Amino acid sequence: MSPLKKVIRKKDKLIKPIWLMRQAGRYLPEFRNIREKNPNFIELCLDEKKVKEITLQPLKRYNLDAAIIFSDILIVPYGLGQSVNFVKNFGPKLGLLDLKEVKNYSFRSFRKKLEPVYKSIKFVREDKIIKGKDLIGFIGGPWTTLVYMLNQCSPKNKLKKILSDKNLVIDMMKCINNFLEIHIKNQIKSGANVIQIFDSWAGLVKEKNLENFIYGPTKRLVKFTQSLNTPCICFPRNIRNYDEYVKLVKPDVISIDYNIDPKKIIKNIKIPIQGGMNPSVLLTDKKNLEKVTNNYLNIFENFPYIFNLGHGVLPQTDPNMVEHLIKIVKKFNERSPKN
């Protein structure tokens, strides 16, 4: 059984597998090398050979337990015919959205546009290096996906009023969820054995809209993933009430952000937990990294836990610090079991 599945399915408390959000990306010189030669990010995400190479770059360097397919949550808007560009020092810029067009968009065209993503998952699966390990497929949460589609850029830059139109958001979500399901299904069919839902902007939703914007639509996708006999990890970043989220959405694993107190969370949550450590700890020194990492590992020692960060690896991270982090986690895994 693969490392993540041992924790998720068997509730194994002895092993603490490790993978990192954004492990394949900007902090790696070998990624930057490829990226420099490929200015169009979406095109790069659709190049099967390069996607395979980038996905496996961190596994070639480090003893990680899982790979995450190199892609982006904004590949779904692209698949729906919306233009998506990544502008240096600004972030993603999306084209105008024709709501009627999205509603009438055919499942076939969507699948066809994203076919290279599925092919690259197959290519990654064929590689020896991934044997026995997990390959994580992913989507953005319905809310986060819609935030980018309607806002046309990151909410970091500005937040358009359109997102407060409750009826529009609910209506669009129903439609987008069908495509998110197709994307989940095709990733699993191609060889992904775990799905993660990144709801990076869950923290923007007001209490009164949580059911309609987050809980309801995400629960549908979790159920769908589980119906395909595949576990689903949810990362509702900065959501105020993780306990309520777990009760209502029922994921297989909950991935926590770095504002969460790990000691408190294990008191209330009964499902496997992932992540938590602040990615900026990797910007400090090895001694501090050992201290903070071991603190997380000790707190979760008797809990089914997948080591990860509380958000993605930061671009300015030194790859040697990532290597050291993985060594610390692997060393902890060699401890003798407690009686």
- Residue 86 interacting with ligand 1CP (CB under 6 A): yes
The two tokens of residue 100 are 């009627």
Contact 252, 259 (CB under 8 A): no
Place of tokens 């610090």: 321
Q: How far is the CB of 310 from ligand 1CP (least distance, A)?
A: 11
Residue of 13, 35, 93, 250 interacting with ligand 1CP (CB under 6 A): 35
The Cα–Cα gap between 242 and 217 comes to: 16
* Binder of ligand 1CP out of 25, 141, 217, 279 (CB under 6 A): 25
Which of 8/75 has CB closer to ligand 1CP? 75
Residue 14 tokens read as 């002895």
74 binds ligand 1CP (CB under 6 A): yes
Query: To which residue do tokens 């065209």 refer?
Result: 109
When asked if residue 154 is in the footprint of ligand 1CP (CB under 6 A), the reply is yes
Query: By CB under 6 A, is residue 119 in contact with ligand 1CP?
Result: no
Encoded tokens for 131: 């044997």
The answer to whether 68 contacts ligand 1CP (rule: CB under 6 A) is yes
CB of 57 or CB of 177, closer to ligand 1CP: 57
Among 77, 92, 191, 236, interactor with ligand 1CP by CB under 6 A: 92
Is residue 234 at the binding interface for ligand 1CP, with CB under 6 A as the rule? no
**Nearer to ligand 1CP (CB atom), residue 222 or residue 322:** 322
Residues that bind ligand 1CP (CB under 6 A): 21-26, 35, 41, 68, 70-74, 86, 91-92, 138, 154, 156, 198, 200, 312
